Structure 1
Amino acid sequence: MSLRSRLPSRVVATYYAYQATLSFGFFAPVFTIFLLARDLSYTEIALLSTESAILTVVGEVPSGYLGDRLGRRASLFVSTTAMTLSIAGFVVAESFPAFVLLYGLWALARVFRSGTGDAWLYETLRDRLDDEGRFTAVRGRGRAVNLGVTVLATLAGGALYTVQPALPFAVSAGLHALGVPILLSFPKTAAFNDGRDATVSIRATARVVREQLTAPGTQTVVGVAAVFFAYTNTVNSYVQPTVRDIVGLPVSFLGPLYAGFTFVSAVAGYYTGAVDARVGSRRTVFITAPLVILGVGLVTLFPLLAIPAFLAYKGAETLLRSVTAGFLNDRVTDAGRATTLSAASMTYALARLPLLVAAGAFADRRGPQPVFGAVAAVCLLTIALLWLATRRVTADT
């Protein structure tokens, strides 16, 4: 096999380059500590996360519909620009109201990318390479590229923070800005070149989304994934203070630690396609989600499990993001692809809303460590109820 045949196609390589610019690695190891140093409480941090979740719920489907109507590149351009401005704003933000504005801009960036990026990749693989079956593998490897950059960035993040707390955000904003010219080189998908998607009505798109997300098999996969992502998103704010205050690692070690987290995630992303092909999407979600939630929840009782448990959840999150995206892409048409993927992201955001503020208030009273077990108990019970409901529906049919 020649070297040329082993290299990715030009369009896939461009996608990988774009993914490299989306890394949050420079500030990820110190993000919560940075907010605490700005005199925010756990409750205020949880309120910011809740704001982001609410805006995601409100904005996901409209942004996905715009992605289906106006084009994938236009939506991704809005996303990349908004994210760059949001990260740059952290350099100068000092007050809670300022962070409220920045989190709003951050949410805008996320909703314009969540469904549209996957829709662009799936359709481009089909139209340009006649190989949409590679979606899960290419998406997973793109995530691995992103995480590879993140490994290097996290190693520098802690050191940059000790020099000047806002420096990691300044460097990260510059990296995100590099994504704009790469994005503009993306090809349009065939649907937008020939104008097919421009004729799709809101009612027709809504019907597609409803039919796809309420199908019995799809509904259960999305539900379990939503609970898992709600758990990881909620407890993520308490990883850094737990590692620093309970495990006893100094801030300067957070960079190497997060590099380890990211390396595990990169490996998981790289092998996502192989796992999906061998195990299957449904089984991967149904096995991984409860086991990882249980493992992280045990950190409350056994603090020494913290680092291996956090490694497991970082890798599992990367794995399930790509698996669920591929699962949904295989079951939806172009007309509502971005809208359906955005609706799934909206479901994930809805699932975490009840947990965020409650977890923040709980952490202010009891500390960060008990949060892992308390939220795990709620999420495992919810997954059990979903499983029972699925069995009942199956029995009735």
Structure 2
Amino acid sequence: LGAASAFMSGADRALLWVSLETAGRSDRYTRWDGTARAVSQTSEALSAAAGGWLYTMGPRWPFWLQVPSAALALVTAAMLRETPRRPSVDPRSHARRALHILGFTLWHHRRLRAALALNVALGLSTFVVIWLIQPYMQARGIPTAWFGPLWAGAHIWLAAVSLASGRVAAALGARASLLGCCLLVLVGYAGLALSHVAWGLAFYLCFMTIRGLQAPILANVMQQDAPAEDRASVLSIAALVFRLSFVVVGPPIGALVDRAGMETALGVLAVVLGALALLTFSGFVRAHHATPRD
């Protein structure tokens, strides 16, 4: 499963971009990306709701039912049709080309580097809370039986926000939408830290809103700046940097929760991740102001 995800990482979004670009509709990428994510998240919500029931029937049922799902994905991939490919004039080997793209994205292209940093900051803020929300619910006295339905409901909210992301970006602009995401990091963590009752879980929706907005918007920004033949690689690098970042920050956050308590840890995260989000957003704005897109 990990290998399959690695091969697909970035390629699906790049294929969507190329398909829209070929049709002369690349300006609608954010809306299409949001729609694709909404469908995926709705499926995840329904799967979460059904998974527990299937597990009660037999622990292997969820795995067996993944087989036809995987077969459907294989059929879908086989039905894809290639767009006209641009001939590559780069004489370098694949390994040297990969190193070049890595350096180009992380060091030489200021706008890509800034967008990637903001993507990591916002991604960390939403991913960390996913690992903390279950013990948070337990501490607030929410019955374990409600975890699945509440998780599914949060993903339905996420799907709705993803579906609206294109319209939100068109109405407010990408920068204003991303600034709103950064502010929601502060609101979400502070709200969870200061709430000592079950309804405080509503602040978790702040992070679902961030996920639904920032992912399509920043994917669009990065694909506009990425070289045409390397869009999938650039998106894969963004995913890799995010995952490596979580590997670095995950253990210290876990230790903080264990030693200082959930509320204190959430308060610290509100300050640290909120400041990180605003700092990277500032860099994002400066990069796009100083080096406007051609």
> Normalized against structure 1, the TM-score is what?
0.63
- Paired amino acid for 1:256: P
Q: Say if 2:125 is the partner of 1:270.
A: no
Which one of 260, 264, 275 corresponds to residue 381 of structure 1?
275
Q: Choose which of 280, 296, 300 in structure 1 pairs with 2:189.
A: 296
What's the % identity of the aligned pairs? 24
Do the aligned partners of residues 395 and 114 (structure 1) sit closer, same or farther apart at CA in structure 2, a change above 3 Å counting?
closer
For residues 272 and 334 of structure 1, the distance between their equivalents in structure 2, rounded to whole angstroms, comes to 24
Matches within 5 A, 1:50-69: none
Q: Which residue of 2 aligns with 1:281?
A: 174
Q: 1:154 aligns with which of 23, 48, 63?
A: 48
| Mapping for residues 43-122 of structure 1, pairs under 5 Å | 83=1, 106=2, 108-122=3-17
Q: Cα offset for 1:140?
A: 0.8
Work out whether residues 266 and 315 of structure 1, in 8 Å CA contact, stay in contact via their aligned partners in 2: no
1:132 corresponds to = 26
Change (3 A) 1:394 1:142: closer
Aligned length: 287
Q: Distance in 1 between matches of 2:132 and 2:76?
A: 35
Shift of 1:265: 0.9
Amino acid at match of 2:161: A
Distance (whole Å) between structure 1 residues aligned to residue 91 and residue 204 of structure 2: 43
Q: Once the 2 structures are TM-superposed, how far is the Cα of residue 198 of structure 1 from its aligned partner?
A: 8.7
Please name the residue that 2:134 is paired with. 240
Match of 1:342 in 2: 236
Contact 1:136–1:326 under 8 Å retained in 2: yes
Cα deviation, 1:306-359, whole Å, max 9, x if unaligned, reads 421112212321221111111111122322111111122223223323310112
| Aligned residue among 216, 225, 228 for 2:119 | 225
The residue aligned with 1:322 is: 216
C-alpha separation in 2, matches of 1:367 and 1:109? 37
Letter in 1 for 2:20: L
Amino acid at match of 1:257: L
**Aligned-residue CA RMSD in angstroms?**
3.1
1:126 and 1:392 map into 2 onto residues whose CA distance is: 28
Secondary structure at 2:166 match in 1: helix
Gaps of 5+ in 2: none
Following TM superposition, by how much is the alpha carbon of 1:118 offset from its aligned partner in structure 2, in angstroms? 0.8
Task: List gaps (5 residues or longer) in structure 1.
Answer: 1-82, 84-105
- Aligned equivalents of 2:254 and 2:44: distance in 1? 27
- 1:196 equivalent in structure 2: 87
For 2:252 and 2:157, the matched residues in 1 are separated by: 30
